[in-house]
């Protein structure tokens, strides 16, 4: 290992780079933002980044969506179906997570009348 | 195919449908159904364990009509079966031990949903243990994180529990996001999702120097993702709140089972996809070792400073998770074995401690504070005995379960070279001393005479249900059994890990 | 030095107990304990006034200034972590295979077989449907249970028991406001509802033939239910689609899903013939189990979507009158 260091870098993976950027933005906002609603949006942003990444990885230049219309199934004619399935699963998971996080937000708001999470933590410590 | 080989699949499906069935039952019926389900699962898993130990090999169970690279699969070996039987059994005992508190803490109309969530949680844990497919593991991790949050949130009249759930949820989402990116990248590099094919593909591409960097990053992403989910040291901030504010049974199952399922998945990824030697060459274990050692010391110090019994136990979980990562971080077979036995030891001990803490709380006016709990063990001797056994086990006194971990970890550490030996041994010794300090202080506080006995107040004494008595007694016996016969467990773990690679 | 440190550490941890000791006691006891308290406080003061760094640091830890500093440190730490994660991910991208290249490792024998033999092995012309409901059906079973788990946990948090204590809390009353929609919405809904419902059912039924399936079709159906309840009020919808109906529909769909898939998993693992005919590719009744599975998924998703909406709007679907 390491003896042969000649490898090529694909500097034109724009889609992947953008998806990683979106993921990074979502990750940062989810961790650092105080507003709970913005946290939920950030979660969706983060997941969208991942789906864009997967969708980009499934695409093959010049090929069609994998729905066989003429009965002839050639692997050269269609894009990779696996990432599409993974994205579908991921979307359902993120819908569930969003619903749960929003439900928590509703409960917290009903109790503390604010959406600022730092403030909520402070108020809940004061309660004890 | 022998009938017994179907059992893991049967157990997963029973638990999955159990969640649905509980949602239409009434509270008591759901509780009974859930207990029955766990008992049945424990028996079925024990039979699977016996089968795999007898045959000394593992087998593949196809989930559908398509084999390896195309369809989903389960893989059942001695280690997975051992974990599964322990987890199902611990879940049963935890539910029995915390049953009264569940009925006190939940709203009456939502108790069936609690048991539905518990059932789904167990299905996800068993599926994570057995699955042979990385993406299936991700889906079930998500089920486990959402149901784990639900079993804390069920206590939502307590504001702290709500806040704790939110923090847990956010950290869990960060962890699973990172993990999913790791899966996507690995899929992109290899084109596979099943462990065996991934392993072969990773070996094939690691010849190419260009993949060295992305592979290191992927291992790092998996470690960070699972590290967040299992509360490894710098990411542990959510754990004390979450485990300290949930109802007793929830705290027990979260610290005993949910964290462990994630760690076990990481072990599986390390051993079966990348291989131990390759992992060591990427230097990721060294980082895990350092964080594990930090967790052991830092968790213990935080527990020492804590004045709330349940939060003290939760910080102790941080330290105990550190032991597991210390074992993984050694990067040797012996270290992995020690990590696996620590998973079992902690799964047996911590739920018992949390259930005992629940018992203390109910004879002390529901307070978790050390001052209010003074003398609680006199009012509730059974919980007191269980707490003492748990405390001695966590400290690592011989004959108790915790000793098996400390012994195996120390032996594994002594077989290492250079700074690692000293770091590991120092961390183990320091953590043991600190464990002793705070557990014995807590035990002394619980056993001592209350300072100002109020003559007018009725002395509160514990009323035991048969479930609580059974649970505590079986936990104590299991703890001693694991401590005395740890050799048997080690043999099964050794065999299972051999079959991993 | 070290002994002193340990003593102060222990003392700091025990501090709350000393201050809490003086209540509800007979005067003699109180005096005694207050002497104790004074002594210990004097000792504490002595420890605190000690020139050692650790005791002063420990006493400083409890102040708000320390909390603020801790929070700032945490934010800096978090920002550094986020930046690191983003940069590392961006740096990794050039090392990954090229975008859209047919020779990428992901386009291997796995996707090849899904495309080339998917039609004959699953009977579905929509390869993705064949993949998620037949080849990798266990994932999808887990996925629909994630939705169900979310429904349970949202119900745990938001469901309001009409006869329970919470029903009279003013905030929940306001929250349960159920207004009457204006005339435009009602007329538009009358036109849109048949179209969306039929479109949703079409998408569910055609999951194995064209783009669509249970998840997308179920979402469309759920959306049309939400529209209906917005326009005509939830009471009228609950007359047909009550909590009981929703609960049992979800139960039946998930159980049917689990049973059908269990049969297929069981026969697959034990190398038995499943005995389910795949039919003519392209026909509506083809592709074996995929059509009934899509129906089940559609039911679950529609019920889940609508009950999410109902729980956020007013604490759950009510039982119809």
- Kindly report the backbone phi and psi dihedral angles of residue B76, in degrees, each rounded to the nearest multiple of 5, phi listed first: -120, 120
Residues 6+ apart with CB under 8 A from B341: B404, B405, B408, B486, B489, B490, B493
Q: What is the DSSP string of chain A?
A: --S-------TT-HHHHHHHHHHHHHHHHHHH--BHHHHHHHHHHHHHHHHHHHHHHH-BTT-B-SB--SS---TTTB--SHHHHHHHHHHHHHHHHHHHHHHHHHHHHHHHS--BHHHHHHHHHHH-
Q: Which of B57, B8, B79, B48 is closest to B339 using CA atoms?
A: B79
| pLDDT band, residue B306 (cuts 50/70/90) | confident
Tell me what ipTM this predicted complex has: 0.91
CB B117 within 8 A of CB C156: yes
What tokens does C61 get? 């830890």
Residue B23 has pLDDT above 70, yes or no: yes
Instruction: Please answer yes or no on whether A101 and B156 come within 8 Å at the CB atom.
Output: no
Residue B400 has pLDDT above 80, yes or no: yes
Q: What is the DSSP string of B378-422?
A: HH-HHHHHHHHHHHHHHHT-TTSHHHHHHHHHHHHHHTS-THHHH
- The residue behind tokens 């308290």 is C37
Instruction: Please answer yes or no on whether A67 and C126 come within 8 Å at the CB atom.
Output: yes
CA nearest B180 in A: which residue?
A50
Q: By percentage, how much of chain B surpasses pLDDT 70? A: 98
Tell me the C-alpha distance between B367 and B358, whole Å: 10
Residue A22: the pLDDT is 93
CB C309 within 8 A of CB C232: no
Instruction: Please answer yes or no on whether B173 and A97 come within 8 Å at the CB atom.
Output: yes
Containing structural domain, residue A123: 14-127
The residues in C 83-122 lying below 8 A from B, measured between CB atoms, are: 85, 88-89, 92, 95-97, 104-111, 113-114, 121
Q: Residue B418: count other Cβ atoms within 10 Å of its Cβ.
A: 7
Tell me the C-alpha distance between B149 and B167, whole Å: 10
> Coil, strand or helix: which one is C276?
coil
Tell me the C-alpha distance between B379 and B360, whole Å: 8
Structural domains counted in chain A: 1
Among the partner-chain residues C125, C131, C143, the one whose CB lies closest to the CB of A93 is C143
Tell me the C-alpha distance between B112 and B122, whole Å: 15
How many residues are there in chain B?
A: 501
Taking only the tens place, the pLDDT of each residue in B101-125 is 888 888 888 888 999 999 999 999 9
> How many residue pairs bridge chain B and chain C with CB atoms within 8 Å of each other?
200
Residue A3 domain-assigned?
no
Taking only the tens place, the pLDDT of each residue in C90-116 is 888 888 888 878 888 878 888 878 888
Q: If you ran DSSP here, which 8-state letter would residue C209 be given? A: T
Average pLDDT value for residue range B30-57: 91
Residue C25: the pLDDT is 39
Taking only the tens place, the pLDDT of each residue in B186-196 is 998 888 888 88
CA nearest C271 in B: which residue?
B65
Tell me the C-alpha distance between B333 and B494, whole Å: 9
Tell how many helices (H) and how many strands (E) occur in chain B: 21, 2
Instruction: Please answer yes or no on whether B305 and C9 come within 8 Å at the CB atom.
Output: yes
Residue B303 has pLDDT above 80, yes or no: yes
Taking only the tens place, the pLDDT of each residue in B159-216 is 888 899 999 999 999 999 999 999 999 998 888 888 888 888 888 888 777 788 888 8
Residue A7: the pLDDT is 62
Tell me the C-alpha distance between B492 and A10, whole Å: 47
Largest CA distance in chain A: 69
> Which of A26-40, B281-295, C7-21, C245-259 is the least confident region?
C7-21
Nearest chain A Cα distance for residue B158, angstroms: 9
Classify each residue of B129-167 as buried b or exposed e, where b means 16 or more C-beta atoms within 10 Å of its C-beta: bbbbbbbbbbbbbbbbbbbbbbbbbbbbebbbbbbbbbb
Of B136 and C97, the structure prediction assigns the larger pLDDT to: B136
Instruction: Please answer yes or no on whether B64 and C264 come within 8 Å at the CB atom.
Output: yes
Instruction: Please answer yes or no on whether B181 and A50 come within 8 Å at the CB atom.
Output: yes
- The residue behind tokens 């964290």 is B259
Residue B248: the pLDDT is 87
Residue B155: the pLDDT is 82
Chain A residues inside the 8 Å CB shell of C145: none
Among the partner-chain residues B9, B133, B149, the one whose CB lies closest to the CB of C265 is B9
CATH of the domain at A120: 1.10.287.3510
pTM: predicted TM-score of the whole model, two decimal places: 0.88
Q: What is the DSSP string of B50-102?
A: HHHHHHTS-EEEEESS--TTTSEEEEE-HHHHHHHHHHHHHHHHHHHHHHHHH
Average pLDDT value for residue range B425-437: 90
> Coil, strand or helix: which one is B276?
helix
Residue B473 domain-assigned?
yes
Chain C residues inside the 8 Å CB shell of A73: 115-119
> Coil, strand or helix: which one is B228?
helix
**Where on the phi/psi map is residue A114: left (φ > 0), alpha (ψ -120 to 50), or beta?**
beta
Q: By percentage, how much of chain A surpasses pLDDT 90? A: 36
| pLDDT band, residue B13 (cuts 50/70/90) | very high
| Residues of chain B with a CB closer than 8 angstroms to some CB in chain A | 135, 139, 142, 146, 149-150, 153, 156, 159-160, 162-163, 165-166, 169-170, 173-174, 177-178, 180-181, 184, 187-188, 193, 206, 208-210, 212, 281
Top residue of A34, A45, A73, A122 to mutate, by most chain C CBs within 10 Å, is A73
Residue B84: the pLDDT is 93
Q: Residue C120: count other Cβ atoms within 10 Å of its Cβ.
A: 10
- The residue behind tokens 């009457």 is C180
Instruction: Please answer yes or no on whether A104 and B162 come within 8 Å at the CB atom.
Output: yes
Could you tell me if A46 lies within 8 Å of chain B, comparing CB atoms?
A: yes
Residue C15: the pLDDT is 46
Among the partner-chain residues A96, A104, A128, the one whose CB lies closest to the CB of B153 is A104
Residue C170: the pLDDT is 58
Could you tell me if C149 lies within 8 Å of chain A, comparing CB atoms?
A: yes
Containing structural domain, residue B327: 284-451+460-501
CB C218 within 8 A of CB C298: yes
Residue B251 domain-assigned?
no
Long-range contacts of range C188-191, CB-CB < 8 Å, 24 or more positions apart? C188/C231, C189/C227, C189/C228, C189/C230, C189/C231, C189/C232
Residue C217: the pLDDT is 92
Torsion of CA B454, B458, B459, B465, to 10 degrees: -150
Instruction: Please answer yes or no on whether A10 and C96 come within 8 Å at the CB atom.
Output: yes
The C-alpha angle with vertex B201 and arms to B197 and B203, in degrees rounded to 5, equals: 120
H-type alpha helices, B154-275: 159-190, 195-205, 212-229, 238-245, 248-253, 259-268
Sign of CA dihedral B182, B185, B189, B193: positive
Tell me the C-alpha distance between B255 and B239, whole Å: 9
> Coil, strand or helix: which one is C319?
coil
| pLDDT band, residue B324 (cuts 50/70/90) | very high
The burial of B461, by beta-carbon neighbours within 10 Å (0-12 exposed, 13-18 middle, 19 or more buried), is given as exposed
What tokens does B230 get? 């299992």
Average pLDDT value for residue range B346-373: 85
Nearest chain B Cα distance for residue A69, angstroms: 23
CB B352 within 8 A of CB B386: yes
Nearest chain B Cα distance for residue A40, angstroms: 9
Nearest chain C Cα distance for residue B304, angstroms: 7
- Kindly report the backbone phi and psi dihedral angles of residue B131, in degrees, each rounded to the nearest multiple of 5, phi listed first: -65, 150
> Distance of CA B141 to CAs A66, B127, B145, B268, C225, Å?
29, 9, 6, 14, 31
Instruction: Map out the domains of chain C as residue ranges.
Output: 2-60, 66-95, 125-314
Could you tell me if A74 lies within 8 Å of chain B, comparing CB atoms?
A: no
Among the partner-chain residues B135, B169, B177, the one whose CB lies closest to the CB of A47 is B177
β-bridge partners, B63: B72
Residue C78: the pLDDT is 83
Residue C296: the pLDDT is 92
Q: What is the DSSP string of C94-105?
A: GGSPPTB-TTST
Chain B residues inside the 8 Å CB shell of A117: 166
- Kindly report the backbone phi and psi dihedral angles of residue A78, in degrees, each rounded to the nearest multiple of 5, phi listed first: -125, 155
Residue C37: the pLDDT is 47
End-to-end CA distance of chain C: 76
Residues 6+ apart with CB under 8 A from B83: B129, B260, B264, B340, B343, B344
β-bridge partners, B72: B63
Residues 6+ apart with CB under 8 A from B458: none
Tell me the C-alpha distance between B111 and C167, whole Å: 18
Could you tell me if C232 lies within 8 Å of chain A, comparing CB atoms?
A: no
The residues in A 10-39 lying below 8 A from B, measured between CB atoms, are: 23, 26-27, 30-31, 36, 39
Residue A3: the pLDDT is 41
Taking only the tens place, the pLDDT of each residue in C32-48 is 444 444 554 554 555 54
CB B15 within 8 A of CB C144: no
Structural domains counted in chain B: 1
Q: What is the DSSP string of C11-35?
A: HHHHHHHHHHTTSS--HHHHHHHHH
> Coil, strand or helix: which one is C126?
strand
CB B376 within 8 A of CB B444: no
What is the full per-residue pLDDT of chain C (321 aa) written as tens digits? 455 555 554 555 444 333 333 334 344 444 444 444 455 455 455 554 545 666 667 667 667 777 788 878 888 888 898 898 899 888 888 888 888 788 888 788 888 788 888 777 777 788 888 888 888 889 999 999 999 999 999 988 888 776 666 655 656 555 555 556 788 888 898 899 999 999 999 999 888 888 888 899 999 999 999 988 888 877 777 778 888 888 899 999 999 999 998 988 888 888 877 777 777 777 777 777 888 899 999 999 999 999 998 888 776 666 654
Residue A84 has pLDDT above 80, yes or no: yes
The residues in C 41-60 lying below 8 A from A, measured between CB atoms, are: none
Chain A residues inside the 8 Å CB shell of B159: 111-112, 123-124, 127
Residue B416 has pLDDT above 60, yes or no: yes
β-bridge partners, C165: none
- Write down which chains contact chain C via at least 3 CB pairs under 8 A: A, B
Residue B98 has pLDDT above 60, yes or no: yes
CA nearest B6 in C: which residue?
C266
Residue C236: the pLDDT is 76
Instruction: Please answer yes or no on whether B208 and A7 come within 8 Å at the CB atom.
Output: yes
Residue C299: the pLDDT is 93
> How many residue pairs bridge chain A and chain C with CB atoms within 8 Å of each other?
175
Q: If you ran DSSP here, which 8-state letter would residue B308 be given? A: B
Q: Which of B284, B287, B283, B353 is closest to B320 using CA atoms?
A: B353
Residue B117 domain-assigned?
no
- Kindly report the backbone phi and psi dihedral angles of residue C123, in degrees, each rounded to the nearest multiple of 5, phi listed first: 80, 5
Residue B475 domain-assigned?
yes
Instruction: Please answer yes or no on whether A108 and B163 come within 8 Å at the CB atom.
Output: yes
Top residue of A75, A113, A117 to mutate, by most chain C CBs within 10 Å, is A75
Residue B320 has pLDDT above 80, yes or no: yes
- The residue behind tokens 């009020």 is C233
Residue B367: the pLDDT is 77
Residues 6+ apart with CB under 8 A from B93: B351, B352, B470, B471, B474, B475
> Distance of CA B364 to CAs B152, B450, C181, Å?
22, 11, 54
Tell me the C-alpha distance between C97 and B150, whole Å: 40
Residue A6: the pLDDT is 52
Of C109 and B409, the structure prediction assigns the larger pLDDT to: B409
């Amino acid at each position: 290992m390491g003896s042969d260091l000649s490898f090529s870098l694909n500097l034109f993976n724009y889609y992947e780079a953008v998806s990683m950027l979106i993921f990074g933005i979502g990750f940062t906002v989810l961790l650092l933002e105080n507003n709970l609603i913005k946290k939920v949006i950030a979660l969706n942003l983060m997941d969208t980044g991942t789906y864009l990444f997967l969708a980009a990885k499934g695409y093959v230049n010049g090929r069609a969506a994998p729905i066989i219309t003429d009965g002839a199934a050639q692997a050269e004619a269609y894009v990779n179906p696996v990432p599409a399935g993974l994205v579908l699963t991921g979307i359902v998971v993120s819908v569930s997570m969003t619903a749960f996080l929003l439900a928590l937000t509703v409960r917290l708001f009903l109790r503390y009348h604010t959406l600022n999470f730092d403030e909520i933590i402070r108020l809940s410590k004061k309660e004890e | 195919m022998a009938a017994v080989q179907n059992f893991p699949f049967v157990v997963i499906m029973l638990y999955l449908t159990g969640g649905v069935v509980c949602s239409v039952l009434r509270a008591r019926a759901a509780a009974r159904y859930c207990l029955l389900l766990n008992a049945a699962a424990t028996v079925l898993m024990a039979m699977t364990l016996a089968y795999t130990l007898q045959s000394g090999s593992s087998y593949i169970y196809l989930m559908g009509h398509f084999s390896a690279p195309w369809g989903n699969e389960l893989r059942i070996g001695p280690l997975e079966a051992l974990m599964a039987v322990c987890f199902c059994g611990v879940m049963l005992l935890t539910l029995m031990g915390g049953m009264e508190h569940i009925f006190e803490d939940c709203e009456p109309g939502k108790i069936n949903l609690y048991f539905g969530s518990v059932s789904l949680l167990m299905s996800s844990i068993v599926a994570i243990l057995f699955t042979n497919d990385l993406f299936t593991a991700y889906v079930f991790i998500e089920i486990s994180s959402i149901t784990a949050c639900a079993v804390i949130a069920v206590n939502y009249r307590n504001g702290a529990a709500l806040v704790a759930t939110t923090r847990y949820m956010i950290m869990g989402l960060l962890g699973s996001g990172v993990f999913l990116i790791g899966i996507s990248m690995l899929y992109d590099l290899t084109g596979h999702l099943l462990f065996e094919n991934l392993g072969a593909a990773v070996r094939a591409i690691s010849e190419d120097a260009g993949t060295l960097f992305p592979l290191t990053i992927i291992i790092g992403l998996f470690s960070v993702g699972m590290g967040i989910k299992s509360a490894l040291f710098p990411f542990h901030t959510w754990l004390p709140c979450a485990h300290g504010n949930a109802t007793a049974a929830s705290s027990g199952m979260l610290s005993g089972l949910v964290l462990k399922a994630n760690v076990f998945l990481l072990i599986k990824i390390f051993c079966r996809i990348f291989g131990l030697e390759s992992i060591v060459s990427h230097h990721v274990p060294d980082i895990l070792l350092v964080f594990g050692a930090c967790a052991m010391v830092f968790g213990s110090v935080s527990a020492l400073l804590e004045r709330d019994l349940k939060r003290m136990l939760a910080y102790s979980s941080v330290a105990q998770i550190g032991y597991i990562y210390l074992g993984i971080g050694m990067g040797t077979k012996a270290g992995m074995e020690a990590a696996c036995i620590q998973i079992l030891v902690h799964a047996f001990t911590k739920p018992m401690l949390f259930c005992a803490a629940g018992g203390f709380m109910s004879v002390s006016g529901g307070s978790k504070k050390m001052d209010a709990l003074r003398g609680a063990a006199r009012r509730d001797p059974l919980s007191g005995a269980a707490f003492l056994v748990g405390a001695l086990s966590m400290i690592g006194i011989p004959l108790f379960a915790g000793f098996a971990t400390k012994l195996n970890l120390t032996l594994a550490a002594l077989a290492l070279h250079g700074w690692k030996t000293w770091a590991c041994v120092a961390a183990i010794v320091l953590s043991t001393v600190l464990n002793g300090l705070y557990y014995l202080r807590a035990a002394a506080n619980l056993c001592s005479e209350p300072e100002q006995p109020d003559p007018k107040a009725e002395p509160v004494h514990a009323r035991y249900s048969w479930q609580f008595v059974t649970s505590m007694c079986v936990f104590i016996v299991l703890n001693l059994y694991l401590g005395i016969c740890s050799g048997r467990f080690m043999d099964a773990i050794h065999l299972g890990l051999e079959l991993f690679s | 030095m070290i002994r002193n440190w340990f003593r102060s550490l222990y003392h700091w941890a025990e501090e709350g107990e000393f201050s809490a000791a003086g209540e509800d006691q007979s005067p003699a006891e109180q005096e005694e304990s207050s002497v104790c308290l004074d002594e210990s406080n004097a000792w504490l003061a002595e420890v605190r006034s000690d020139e050692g760094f650790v005791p002063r640091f420990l006493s400083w830890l409890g102040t708000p200034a320390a909390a603020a500093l801790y929070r700032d440190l945490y934010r800096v730490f978090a920002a550094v972590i986020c930046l690191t994660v983003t940069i590392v991910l961006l740096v990794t991208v050039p090392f990954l295979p090229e975008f859209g290249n047919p020779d990428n490792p992901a386009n291997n024998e796995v996707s090849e077989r899904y495309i080339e033999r998917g039609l004959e092995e699953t009977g579905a012309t929509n390869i993705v449907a064949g993949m998620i409901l037949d080849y990798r059906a266990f994932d999808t079973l887990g996925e629909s249970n994630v939705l169900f788990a979310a429904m349970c946990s949202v119900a745990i948090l938001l469901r309001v028991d009409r006869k329970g204590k919470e029903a009279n809390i003013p905030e929940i009353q306001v929250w349960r406001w159920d207004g009457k929609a204006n005339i435009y919405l009602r007329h538009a809904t009358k036109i849109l509802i048949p179209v969306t419902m039929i479109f949703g059912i079409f998408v569910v039924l055609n999951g194995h033939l064209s783009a669509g399936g249970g998840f997308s079709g179920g979402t469309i159906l759920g959306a049309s239910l939400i529209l209906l309840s917005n326009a005509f009020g939830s009471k009228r919808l609950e007359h047909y689609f009550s909590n009981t109906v929703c609960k049992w529909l979800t139960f039946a769909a998930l159980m049917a899903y689990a049973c059908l898939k269990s049969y297929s998993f069981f026969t697959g693992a034990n190398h038995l013939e499943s005995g389910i005919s795949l039919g003519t590719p392209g026909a509506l009744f083809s592709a074996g189990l995929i059509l009934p599975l899509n129906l089940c998924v559609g039911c679950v998703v529609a019920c889940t979507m609508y009950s999410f909406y109902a729980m956020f709007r007013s604490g759950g679907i009510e039982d119809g009158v």
